[in-house]
């Protein structure tokens, strides 16, 4: 079965360190997204991509970067982790031809920045 996986599922790091969260999907979807989820807030879009070599900033992109070198992967990098980036991060994908907004989410990566 096609799926979307994230790693690591849990990570603790220190302020100032670089962190990369991996996202891999086997749906062959062109559209991929990174969200963060914090208590009291809706999902907030960090970065998104509509295909290989395409990346776009979302609502809360400061301090984050992504790259899209193939269809399957969209890694999220925190260049210099800050305590404000402690959160649960979700990767998601959707099929290009569907403008219905149905997203398929990974299981999430819980990041703690000390």
Partner 1 sequence: GQNIDQPTEMTATEGAIVQINCTYQTSGFNGLFWYQQHAGEAPTFLSYNVLDGLEEKGRFSSFLSRSKGYSYLLLKELQMKDSASYLCAVMDSNYQLIWGAGTKLIIKP
Give the footprint of partner 1 on this chain (CB under 8 A). Answer: 40-45, 58, 90, 99-108
Instruction: Work out how close the CB of 41 gets to partner 1 at its nearest, in angstroms, rounded to a whole number.
Output: 6
Nearer to partner 1, 4 or 113 (CB): 4
Work out the number of other CB atoms within 10 angstroms of the CB of residue 6.
20
Query: Of 37, 20, 17, which is closest to residue 83 (Cα–Cα)?
Result: 17
Nearer to partner 1, 42 or 53 (CB): 42
Nearer to partner 1, 18 or 56 (CB): 56
CA 45 – CA 47 distance, rounded (Å) = 6
Instruction: Work out how close the CB of 48 gets to partner 1 at its nearest, in angstroms, rounded to a whole number.
Output: 8
Instruction: Work out how close the CB of 68 gets to partner 1 at its nearest, in angstroms, rounded to a whole number.
Output: 18
Say which residue the tokens 């907004």 belong to: 101
List of residues 6+ apart from 20 with CB closer than 8 A: 75, 76, 77, 78
């Amino acid at each position: 079965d096609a799926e979307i996986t994230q790693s690591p599922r849990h990570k603790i790091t220190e302020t100032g360190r670089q962190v990369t969260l991996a996202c891999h999907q086997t749906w062959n979807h062109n559209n991929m997204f990174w969200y963060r989820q914090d208590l009291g807030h809706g999902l907030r879009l960090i970065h998104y991509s509509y295909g290989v070599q395409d990346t776009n900033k979302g609502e809360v992109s400061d301090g984050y970067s992504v790259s899209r070198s193939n269809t399957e992967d969209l890694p999220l990098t925190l260049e210099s982790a800050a305590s404000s980036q402690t959160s649960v991060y979700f990767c998601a994908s959707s099929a290009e031809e569907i403008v219905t907004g149905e997203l398929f989410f990974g299981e999430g990566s819980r990041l703690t920045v000390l």
